[in-house]
Structure 1
């Protein structure tokens, strides 16, 4: 195929890939666009905790690609990319199909990293996909069920000890969520919730160290300590092995290895380079970082292959490292689309200047923190509402984010307060207080979301004299 007539191929349907595709479609990109991903559904990873707890449903957190791309000119192919030949501009799929491309966008993200820890990949639970969330929920419920029926005190203690490794944002959010969720589930089985232990294990001596959320450390610590079951911290230790009955760890200043008896180890520590990226041997070593990630130019192109764009967790911008968070990937997708259109029109490409607009963290059921532009920090139930509302409004298409947000708000206002609350929130007169707080929070959500979105690139086409113009 003549590459001048070949399509633009996008590999990976995460934030980078999906938003690149949507922006190209909405801005009337002249070349055919094909998005390839092995999954049926887009995974809104920041809201997987709400999916685990039942606070949100799959339609909100895990919309189908076909739904998100409906009405667009994007061709979606559900398949796995086995290999890419950068020199021949060719993508090979697991099904045996192949595509030649004119331009290629890599947005495959990273995979879970285990630092070579013995047994971790086999025996620990990851939390990155819908399958991970379903598998973890089933396991947690089974542990609680068995614990409620066993007469063996030692076995019960092991079943009710839940360990989260890695005290970055994912680990903190997971530990805080479990510390409210599991007591709620166990109480319904007639168990003593004080038998439950949630332990957050970390190699460093502080939580959120070196992360964009580091300034929220004290807020997070207070939240972990005030959950239904306070979260225990085991810091400054290295996990050396994980098996089905526990994990082994070693303190930095000690020689002996200790064992923590548990049936549940949830691994949130670290990431690894996607195997597809590792297979790109045609990228020169000097154009890779120490982890094997390709270094890209400020316009997010591979130096040796300028027809290839890469962003998100699977690439590093030379001399300008971006944090691996959804809002950065969201902006990068929009800017890749802008530069692809510029290429198609023979115009100059522009550097991608993605910026942080603040941070949002879940710190338990109905509890969170919204830090907007490092100027406004809102904690508690209101912070959680702002976090959820902001994320839902960033979902890929206007129709979907409106439906997801209204469904969620309807549930929050008219249904959720009729359901049993987490133990920590069972207080007198809580219903009236909660409704009042929700109404106030909705007003704050509207303002916070508007402020957030004003500085985010919109996938909607703006009225222009020329449909293909890049000006908004």
Structure 2
């Protein structure tokens, strides 16, 4: 067995980083594990929509890293990575701190991608973290008492755009005239057919307009310009929410430092970075050679994190790591207050029951911090243990 002289450092504590850290500690409690992230709270993004609608409270979707990792015996450091020296196994941070590592896992996640479209950064709202959530809540609340209907555009007809549109419509009823702008010829074009059909019904029911085969050309203070069928039309707008794409957060990497593909770090099927077998990249920032079609989702990130924990333990024991295999367990989407759609492992379910099942499945995947939240009365945690058995039986991993 290899002697661990330096810590295993995990940079980024999203779904991928959280999963590899907690699973690795469970496999080998004696390992020195250090997790570094630039923020203080874990963001359970699939539940941010329910925070917006006040169906759940903020701490349920954003527990503090300090609580999560201290309970697990893992060291957490809030800091910002600015440079990696792969040859020397050294990390450099924004406060001039330098750290040596024996194994490195980088999983710094995604940031919004504006595709260099004029006005996106300056004149759009986003929905990627707690700061975005709070900004959006303040804007919506300020306009709630406005007697006139406000024009709200959501750019991107993927899951995030659809979930936001339905939630906002249910919260504010007729306060906002909502339009979704999607560049392809259908919403949710990479998602399950059942969920797409249920989403189309949900949007039609709420009288939410969908502009397909449409692309945003510019967003100004008061206007949004949209091209469709070789024509550009300008619309008045009160708010534009950008959900049209993300890009990997790789600001700490130097040009040509490691091999990339589609702007992401290329790794082998053991999740190792080329030429650096003690370094790994997982989650949104990585792409596995030969598995380029894997979606950028929490499900993929968590499966990679779970597998990587096992591979690092194998390496420490002097054994060969195993290739990663993705298991598609389906997908779930929220469709307004108290409604959802699920297409998973042969099961299709929609409506209120689907919403409850969705919440319980996500509850089972929240960080295991029940002990640090004993004073809370959230049913998510109260029923977590019971439904873990249900989920395991039905293979919702």
TM range (shorter): over 0.9
> 2:221 — aligned with what?
244
TM-score by length of 1: 0.78
> Which sections of structure 2, spanning at least 5 residues, go unmatched?
none
Could you report, residue by residue, the CA deviation over 1:415-450 in whole angstroms, capped at 9, with x for unpaired residues?
Answer: xxxxxxxxxxxxxxxxxxxxxxxxxxx9x9778634
1:331 pairs with 2:303: yes
Q: Which has the larger radius of gyration?
A: 1
1:232 pairs with 2:203: no
Between Structure 1 and Structure 2, which shows a larger proportion of strand residues?
2
Q: Distance in 1 between matches of 2:51 and 2:98?
A: 35
> 1:367 — aligned with what?
339
RMSD: 2.5
Q: Distance in 1 between matches of 2:375 and 2:63?
A: 10
> 1:426 — aligned with what?
none
Q: Distance in 2 between matches of 1:399 and 1:27?
A: 20
**1:21–1:337: 8 Å Cα contact kept in structure 2?**
yes
Q: CA deviation at 1:123?
A: 1.0
1:122 pairs with 2:122: yes
Q: Distance in 1 between matches of 2:27 and 2:125?
A: 41
Q: Give the alignment partner of residue 202 of structure 1, picking from 182, 194, 199.
A: 182
1:386 pairs with 2:357: yes
* Higher mean displacement: 402-411 or 348-357: 402-411
Alpha-carbon spacing, 1:162–1:408, altered in 2? closer, same or farther (3 Å): farther
TM-score by length of 2: 0.93
> Which sections of structure 1, spanning at least 5 residues, go unmatched?
149-155, 184-192, 413-441, 457-472
**1:176–1:363: 8 Å Cα contact kept in structure 2?**
yes
Alpha-carbon spacing, 1:277–1:236, altered in 2? closer, same or farther (3 Å): farther
**2:248–2:263: 8 Å Cα contact kept in structure 1?**
yes
Q: Distance in 2 between matches of 1:263 and 1:344?
A: 56
Q: Distance in 1 between matches of 2:273 and 2:38?
A: 24
Between Structure 1 and Structure 2, which shows a larger proportion of helix residues?
1
Q: Distance in 2 between matches of 1:392 and 1:202?
A: 31
Give the count of matched residue pairs.
Answer: 393
Could you report, residue by residue, the CA deviation over 1:1-44 in whole angstroms, capped at 9, with x for unpaired residues?
Answer: xx961111100010111111111211225431100001111000
> 2:21 — aligned with what?
21
**2:68–2:369: 8 Å Cα contact kept in structure 1?**
no
Q: Give the alignment partner of residue 276 of structure 1, picking from 251, 262, 279.
A: 251
Q: CA deviation at 1:212?
A: 3.2
> 1:212 — aligned with what?
191
Q: Distance in 2 between matches of 1:405 and 1:377?
A: 33
Could you report, residue by residue, the CA deviation over 1:364-389 in whole angstroms, capped at 9, with x for unpaired residues?
Answer: 1111012221x111111111111111
> 1:63 — aligned with what?
63
Equivalent runs, 1:396-435 vs 2, <5 Å: 396-397=367-368, 399=370, 407-408=378-379
